[in-house]
Amino acid sequence: MHISEGVLSVPVIAAGWALAAGGLAAGLKRTRTEKLPETALVSAALFLASLVHVPLGPSSIHLTLLGLAGVLLGWSAVPALFIALLLQGLLFQFGGLLSLGVNTTVMGTAALTGCGVYRAMTPALRPNLRFLSAFTAGFAAVIAGTVLVCAALFFSDMELEATAALLFAANLPLAVVEGVMSAFIVAFLSKTVPRYVS
């Protein structure tokens, strides 16, 4: 879900940075000191997971783990994502520094969507069915992020409409994969360290 440099219009870049700044402020305010180790661990996992890109036409797809990040960290996922994206931009030129605000906004919103879905569904389910809410959180996070990427491309250049449509179609199977991964990881964590997913 990285948007490369030189693709977005100046108004979209500016809006992305403004929203990212607000999300970072909210995320940092809600990040407790004792939560820093797990925030750093999730940030490292996000950094590594999105390094493996599968080429797809003019774009590529990769694992995001955004739903899982939202489930584990809530608002703290936004600064965790920012750090992972900043390092990827500096070290590997994935995304970039100008598009960092939009990428943080897209991925942060996706993680918060996953968090919201998980927290809305989990109380209605028995503990042994918590994996269903984790699957839905992972799936919903990818869909939300994809919709926002498509919107950013559309508002930057209407000629990117075909690219946005292809990107959306390509991310549908990824949403299922992310949902399954989130379900397995949350099921494991609920048995080993339930405080992370409660």
pLDDT, tens only, 142-155: 999 989 988 888 88
CATH code for residues 10-196: 1.10.1760.20
Q: Quick check: 93 pLDDT over 80?
A: no
pLDDT at 58 over 60: no
Backbone phi, then psi, for 85, in 5-degree steps?
-70, -40
Residue, of 161 and 92, whose pLDDT is higher: 92
Q: pLDDT grade, residue 116 (50/70/90)?
A: very high
pLDDT at position 1: 60
* Amino acid at residue number 137: A
Task: Report CA Rg, the chain.
Answer: 16
Domain boundaries, the chain: 10-196
Closest by alpha carbon to 188, among 32, 70, 71? 71
Three-state SS string across the chain, please? CCCCCCCCCHHHHHHHHHHHHHHHHHHHHHCCHHHHHHHHHHHHHHHHHCCCCEEECCEEECCCCHHHHHHHHHHHHHHHHHHHHHHHHHHHCCCCCCCHHHHHHHHHHHHHHHHHHHHHHHHHCCHHHHHHHHHHHHHHHHHHHHHHHHHHHHHHCHHHHHHHHHHHHHHHHHHHHHHHHHHHHHHHHHHHCHHHCC
Q: What is the pLDDT of residue 76?
A: 96
Residue 149's pLDDT is 86
